[in-house]
Each structure stands twice: as structure tokens, then as C-alpha cells.
Amino acid sequence: MLKTKNSLLDSSIQNLRNSLSSLSMDQFVLKTIESLMSIERNEYLDTADKDKGNGSYGRAFKTLSKNGLVINVPRTRGGLFSPAALELLKINQEQLDDICLSLYKKGLSGNDISSFIDECFGEKASPSKIGELAKVFHKFRESWENSPLEKHYKVVFGDVVFITVRRGDSYSKEGVYVAYGVREDDRRELLALETNPTEGILFWGGILENLKSRGVEIIDLFVADGITGLEDEVLKYYPMAEFQKCVVHKMRNILNKTRPKEKAEMAEDLKIVFDNFDENSTLKNAKSKVKFFIEKWKERYPNIGSFFKEETIDYSFTYIKFDSRVRRMIYTTNSIENINRAIRKATKNKLSFESPVRLLDYVFMVIKEFEEKNLMKFPVTNYKYFAKVN
């Protein structure tokens, strides 16, 4: 019997060798598996008392390189024979799930993923099933939300990204609140991820309160956009913290009120106002530049001074209090803008999310993937110079 098997195998291999020039790689693989299945059936029939061979049936398989390949699967009259070699052509279900989740994280919709899987692998993956698979993200986020944080963060950056989500029976853009912190060991860490229909200081207050409950006792500097009153909310929970209003947000707000033909000149003047990165820069000099700027532009823009109110102007120049080697890293929310761009890129193909929970689950995994690719787990060298000097 062994001699018969070897003879059949040798014959099959010889036939394949003779056909190499006319076979594609996919066809070569299929013909090889057909030979293995024939050997399997002969082995099965040698031990089956009453079963007999019954020809074969064609089964279509789709591959990455070509659709519609057909393999001849041997069968028996009893229908009890199932060739193990056939499994070589089936993509493992766990691998298929991994592919679905990976494509989901890349921003493809459930329908797009379903079409892709069907076209490439001939397998069915309904959009609803993909949605169920995506629920595994929730477990990871829930675990992270319940984990303790460090006691001390040198800097915390806060910002809001607006994404369309379903809440009840309607769809609208809601704010996704993101807070990132720089630890004592100079590594960066996601601290908060929440969603709310609008951006407001009271909701930020809830986030700050939650940071306290998770163990954050000290924040040296909080950097955020110019939302009115946020500095007071931060100081309520962290009285010793400094607050920096994002300079880029302020510049953008001013330029949005500027005539197109004057924007370039206005932008250059604003760069001068906020260029306080030399170690000899002082708050007094910065305010002098602001005064000069207002004097230059107030005739054309009478309300230009409202962007530099006396009671809050210091918050635009808090970075001057710190070592000159870290000022460029803390005078804007640019450190978190890279994450925001990754979020926007991943969500732009998704017209909406079925609930705020699913939105947060998805964004959480986007951020975690961003961290891995951008080496966020490693220390930022310049933060070793983080210290107040003024």
C-alpha cells in the first residue's frame, strides 16, 4: 500500500513539473492540493469497508491575485470523507477577524470591509459582524479608564476634536475631549478621552476631577486653547498649576478676522509678538511687543486689542516662565495636534458612529496605534530641562 501511495505521489509531482510553464502560482498551489486530496481519499478508501469513490466536485476559491479559481475536491458515495488538505485554502477565522479589525482601525466602513473580504477571500463578513468584533475595543478602553495614573505630570495638553456621532435618533458633531500628559520620566501618556455634545469649561472640570480620582495630584502646566474661563477651572482643581493658552489658536482667531490681502503681514507681526524663545526674553518685553502690535493695527481693526485683554494676557505668555529649551514645546497644543490629525484621518471615511461609546472605543484604539507607531512610549529628551526660570 505504501508503494502505491508513493507511486501516486511521484506521478502527481511529475505531472506538476511538466506543467510548471503553463501554471500560475495560484494554479500550482491548487493542483498540488488536489494531488494531496487524491492521496488522502485513496488512503481513506483503503480503510473504509463500504464507502467508494464518487468522482469530484468543483469548488471556487478567490485569491488576492485572481478571482474564480476552481479546485476539484474528491468525494465518496458515503459523504463521510473530508480532505484535511482542503483546509490549506481556508483563511483562519481568527486571522480574518484580525484583518477586519485592522481595516476598521484604518478608517474603512463596515460595508467597505465586508466587500473587501468577500472579493479577496470569498468569505462573508457582514457589517454587523464587524461592528461586533469592534466591541473588543471597549474592553481595552474600559480597563484603561479604571487604571491609576501617575501622581505628578509636568505638562498636560488638552484639546477637542469634533466628529459626527449618533445620539438617540439624531446625528451631529460632538466634541471628543483628549488630554495628554508628560510624566516625570518624560514619557507621554493618554490621560483622558471623553465625548460631549459641546465644548465647555464645566465638562473640562469633570475631566479634571476624574484625573484627581485616578491619582493625579500635581500638574505643573496645563496647555489648552483659548476657551474662556478654562484657566479658572484648572486652577480650581490644581491650584499650583500654571496655565498656557495655545498661541496657535490665538493667532488663528486673529487671522480669521483679518482681510485676505493683509493676512500675510499680520501673520508675520504675530510671529514677532510670540517669538520669546531666547533665554533673555521676559514678560515685560513680550507685552511691549503686544502694545506695538495693537498700535500698528488698531486704526484698521479697532477691536484688535480685545484679543489681548489685560486680565488674561499673561496666560498667552506663560511659556516665558520656563527654560528656553522647552518653550517651543509648551506654548501651543501642537504636541496633541499630531494625535488629532491621526484621529481625523482615521474617522474621515466613517460618516458617523452609531453611539458615543463606539466612537470613544474606536478613537481609543486609533490613539494607541498612533502611540506605537510614533514611539510615544519613549522619553522626550528636552523635557529634562522643564523647569521654571522666571
- How many CB atoms within 10 Å of residue 168? 6
Give the model confidence (pLDDT) of 124-169 as tens digits. Answer: 666 666 666 667 778 888 899 999 999 999 999 999 999 988 888 8
CA pair distance 83, 212, nearest whole angstrom:
61
pTM of the entire structure? Answer: 0.72
Kindly give the pairing relationship between strand 152-167 and strand 218-224: parallel
3-state SS assignment for residue 304: helix
- Provide, rounded to the nearest whole percent, the portion of the chain with pLDDT above 70: 76
Q: Does 1 score more than 60 pLDDT?
A: no
Give the model confidence (pLDDT) of 92-116 as tens digits. Answer: 555 666 676 677 666 566 667 777 6
Give the model confidence (pLDDT) of 275-311 as tens digits. Answer: 999 999 999 999 999 999 999 999 999 999 999 999 9
Please list the residues that pair with 219 across neighbouring strands: 153
Instruction: State residue 331 phi and psi, 5-degree precision.
Output: -90, -5
CA pair distance 169, 6, nearest whole angstrom:
67
Q: Look at residue 220 in the predicted model and tell me its pLDDT.
A: 98
Q: Which of 112, 83, 2 is nearest to 46 (CA)?
A: 2
3-state SS assignment for residue 194: strand
